[in-house]
Structure formats: structure tokens, C-alpha cells
């Protein structure tokens, strides 16, 4: 592939998505959707960032059972789907593109967020050693996740269909340009992939093929629903986020991307290292170049998107070395005009961590653009 002359600022195609540049706004959970319904403030936030080649929405629950945190949005009720139109219209009016990240948290939830206060669901009844964020008396509080119950095999097709229904809601009704399947960060699909959270003895556990089966069924259903050319997927081979662990991730993820090659997806999005943390983990080595080569060797033609702790130097290096797209997370929180700042080599605003999760406009829509300090 002729990557050597590409820069971050060249247009690029990702499947059927025609992007103005290679700089992507990564999905960022911001907990500003009370009752799981998007709103005008979110529309303003996203449209401020529309100069990204592509915006990936914050993780969005495909059903109430798929929800694990206070005030994150959904895409299953009519009110939610209608409200997302505010966001997609304002991003499009500002010249941007936006896909919706489809999310089922699996065991990373709390009974108080689940339908009927039931136990969260998971491949196996193993509690994640992680916290979720609830809001009590208007204040975010971290709470241990609840013990999950193991899904019965007969329940899985329903969840697969729910992913597809949410994809249809996103593309056919809410006006998104596509969807990203959230298969990363220790949520439901990743829980099936990794043996630390999957001890099933049926067709969905045990061998690599079996642990990847749920992911591939979701990909099949979502691509059938909206067309593979507008579907991406996010993977995190070694992240410890949300207690995710697999003792042998390389053959697992090499298999997954080889299987994905046949689907003609828009893109494959890889979190390198620990989500929001170190890019290299001494106790969890992983060959990302080998992963990309496995995908290409199997005929995969989707755009290859890399993410985690990127700056301009790292991003340019990634593109030189064969990445097609580079996703920036925290840098986009604090820099709505990140593309322009990278283009000019300008300094970046620092993000305020205390306003990352929950709250209102402060630390959300009030970061200054260049020339407006």
C-alpha cells in the first residue's frame, strides 16, 4: 500500500465513508445524557469537533441491559433515537461525519441500572474487579460492579438482534453515517473473547473460534442490517480496562482480524496498550504490526485505525508505518479544533479531569479554540 506520501491531513476513504482527513475523534464517555437521552448540549459539543475526519460517538447502549453507567446515552427508545438527530444534524451542518458506537456492557454494570434491578449479564458468572459510576444526589460516585449471571445460549440471538436493531436506528433513523461495534475495554463482546471472563463450555467458550463466535455473529447481523461499508469495530487486545484478561491474546486477535477481513468493513480500530494509559505493557506484549499484517494477508481492505495516547509525532509515525486513521481521545476533549492545532503544530489545551464524567457545559463545550483565548 502506498502509505509513504500520506499525511494526517489527506482525505481518505474508510469503506463507504469519505473522510476529509485521517484524524478521528475517539469515542469518549462523558455522562451528560440524563435518562439516557441525548440533548442540545451534546449536539453543540460534537459539532464543535466536526473538523475531525470522523467523529465516533461516545459509547451508546443498545438496550437498558447493555447500560452500565449513570447518564450515558442509549439508542433503543424512540425518544433517544429522535434526540440523536439533533447531534447528527449539527455535526453534518458543520461539515463533519459521525458514527455511533454500539455498546453492551455485559458484566460491567450495577443492579440499580438494570431492568427490574436484575443482575447484569455476562458469558460466565464472574464478577469484574472494576467500578462503575452511579450518580447519587447529583454527585458521581464509584461503586463496585454487581455479580453477573451467565447468559444462556438461547438468549444470545436476541442480543445479536438488538445490536442490529440499534445499528438500524443509528443509520436509518437517527442520521448517523455509520456505526462502530464496541468490542473493546472489557465489555460484553470482549468478555466473550477473553478467557479471563469466559469459562463457558458450549459453542461460545473454550477454543478461540468459540470465544470469537459471539463477536462474529454481531458483526454479521450489524453488517447485514446497514451494510458493511459503514461499519467499524473497536478492539483492545491487551487492555486491562474493566478487568479484561486473556493469557494468549496474539493468536486470539490474529484470528479475529482474519475473520473480519471477509466482511469488507469500513475500518478496524485498535487500542494499543492500556486504554487511556501506557501504550506498552511489559507483562502483556503484543505485536500490532503483526495484527495489521494478518488482516491484510487475509484480504482485509478496511481502513486501519490506531489509538491511544497519540500526539502529532506518534500519529505521523503511525501513518508512515501503515495506519490509515489515527484516533485521538483526551486531546479532543480539551481541543475542539484539534485538527487545526495539529496542522499548525500549535500548543494543545490541557483537559480538566474533574469534568470528564458528568456535569454540564463546564469542561465540555467551553474549551477555547485557537485565537479565542
- Which residues are tagged catalytic? 187
Whose Cβ is closer to ligand 8OZ: residue 88's or residue 239's?
A: 239
- How near is the Cβ of 347 to ligand 8OZ at its closest, in Å? 26
Contact 190, 122 (CB under 8 A): no
- How near is the Cβ of 312 to ligand 8OZ at its closest, in Å? 24
59 lines the binding site for ligand 8OZ (CB under 6 A): yes
Whose Cβ is closer to ligand 8OZ: residue 86's or residue 241's?
A: 241
> Residues 6 or more apart from 304 whose CB is under 8 A from it?
267, 268, 270, 292, 295, 322, 323, 324, 325
- How near is the Cβ of 13 to ligand 8OZ at its closest, in Å? 26
Alpha carbon distance 324, 348 (integer Å): 23
DSSP symbol at 229: G
> Residues 6 or more apart from 149 whose CB is under 8 A from it?
118, 119, 120, 121, 122, 125
Whose Cβ is closer to ligand 8OZ: residue 163's or residue 261's?
A: 163
- How near is the Cβ of 143 to ligand 8OZ at its closest, in Å? 13
Residues 101-140: x where in contact with ligand 8OZ by CB under 6 A, - otherwise, as a string: ----------------------------------------
Contact 38, 73 (CB under 8 A): yes
* Interface of this chain with ligand 8OZ, residues 172 to 211, rule: CB under 6 A: 185
Count of residues of this chain found to bind ligand 8OZ when the rule CB under 6 A is applied: 6
Whose Cβ is closer to ligand 8OZ: residue 59's or residue 339's?
A: 59
Of 12, 61, 151, 241, which lies in the binding site for ligand 8OZ, with binding defined by CB under 6 A? 241
Side-chain-side CA neighbours of 65 within 13 Å: the count stands at: 16
275 lines the binding site for ligand 8OZ (CB under 6 A): yes
323 lines the binding site for ligand 8OZ (CB under 6 A): no
How far the first Cα of the chain sits from its last, in Å, is 42
CA-based torsion, 196, 308, 176, 304: positive or negative: negative
Side-chain-side CA neighbours of 178 within 13 Å: the count stands at: 24
Whose Cβ is closer to ligand 8OZ: residue 69's or residue 304's?
A: 69
Whose Cβ is closer to ligand 8OZ: residue 169's or residue 275's?
A: 275
H/E run at residue 49: none
Of 8, 14, 22, 29, which lies in the binding site for ligand 8OZ, with binding defined by CB under 6 A? 29
Whose Cβ is closer to ligand 8OZ: residue 29's or residue 162's?
A: 29
Alpha carbon distance 283, 222 (integer Å): 34
Of 46, 69, 204, 214, which lies in the binding site for ligand 8OZ, with binding defined by CB under 6 A? 69
Count Cβ atoms below 10 Å from residue 366 Cβ, excluding itself.
13
- How near is the Cβ of 272 to ligand 8OZ at its closest, in Å? 14
260 lines the binding site for ligand 8OZ (CB under 6 A): no
- How near is the Cβ of 116 to ligand 8OZ at its closest, in Å? 23
H/E run at residue 348: none
- How near is the Cβ of 154 to ligand 8OZ at its closest, in Å? 28
Alpha carbon distance 14, 230 (integer Å): 8
Residue 361's φ and ψ, nearest 5 degrees, are: -70, -30
Task: Output helix, strand, coil percentages for the chain, rounded to the nearest 5.
Answer: 35, 15, 45
> Residues 6 or more apart from 317 whose CB is under 8 A from it?
none
Site for ligand 8OZ, rule CB under 6 A: 29, 59, 69, 185, 241, 275
Amino acid at each position: 500500500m502506498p502509505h509513504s506520501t500520506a499525511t494526517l491531513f489527506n482525505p481518505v476513504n474508510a469503506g463507504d465513508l469519505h473522510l476529509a482527513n485521517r484524524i478521528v475523534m475517539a469515542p469518549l464517555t462523558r455522562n451528560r445524557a440524563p435518562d439516557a437521552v441525548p440533548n442540545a448540549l451534546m449536539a453543540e459539543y460534537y459539532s464543535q469537533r466536526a473538523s475531525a475526519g470522523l467523529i465516533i460517538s461516545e459509547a451508546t447502549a443498545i438496550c437498558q441491559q447493555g447500560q452500565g453507567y449513570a447518564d450515558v446515552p442509549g439508542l433503543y427508545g424512540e425518544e433517544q433515537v429522535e434526540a440523536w438527530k439533533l447531534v447528527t444534524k449539527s455535526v453534518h451542518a458543520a461539515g463533519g461525519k459521525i458514527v455511533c458506537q454500539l455498546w453492551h456492557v455485559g458484566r460491567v454494570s450495577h443492579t440499580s441500572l438494570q431492568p427490574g434491578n436484575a443482575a447484569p449479564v455476562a458469558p460466565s458468572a464472574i464478577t469484574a474487579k472494576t467500578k462503575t459510576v452511579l450518580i447519587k444526589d447529583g454527585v458521581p460516585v464509584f461503586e463496585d460492579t454487581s455479580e453477573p449471571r451467565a447468559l444462556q445460549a438461547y438468549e444470545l440471538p436476541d442480543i445479536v438482534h438488538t445490536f442490529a436493531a440499534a445499528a438500524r436506528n443509528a443509520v436509518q433513523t437517527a442520521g448517523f453515517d455509520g456505526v462502530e461495534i464496541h468490542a473493546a475495554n472489557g465489555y460484553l463482546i470482549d468478555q466473550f473473547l477473553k478467557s479471563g471472563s469466559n469459562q463457558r463450555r458450549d459453542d461460545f467458550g473454550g477454543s478461540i473460534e468459540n470465544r470469537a463466535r459471539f463477536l462474529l455473529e454481531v458483526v454479521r447481523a450489524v453488517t447485514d442490517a446497514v451494510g458493511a461499508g459503514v461499519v467499524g469495530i473497536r478492539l483492545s487486545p491487551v487492555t486491562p480496562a474493566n478487568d479484561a484478561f486473556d493469557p494468549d491474546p496474539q493468536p486470539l486477535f490474529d484470528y479475529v482480524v482474519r475473520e473480519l477481513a471477509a466482511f469488507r468493513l469500513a475500518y478496524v480500530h485498535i487500542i494499543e496498550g492500556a486504554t487511556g494509559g501506557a501504550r506498552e505493557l511489559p507483562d502483556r506484549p503484543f505485536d500490532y504490526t503483526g495484527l495489521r499484517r494478518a488482516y491484510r494477508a487475509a484480504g482485509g481492505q478496511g481502513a486501519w485505525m490506531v489509538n491511544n495516547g497519540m500526539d502529532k509525532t506518534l500519529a505521523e509515525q503511525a501513518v508512515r508505518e501503515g495506519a490509515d486513521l489515527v484516533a485521538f481521545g483526551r486531546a479532543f476533549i480539551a481541543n475542539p479544533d484539534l485538527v487545526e492545532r495539529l496542522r499548525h503544530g500549535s500548543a494543545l489545551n490541557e483537559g480538566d479531569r474533574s469534568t470528564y464524567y458528568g456535569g454540564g457545559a463546564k469542561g465540555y463545550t467551553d474549551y477555547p479554540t485557537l485565537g479565542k483565548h
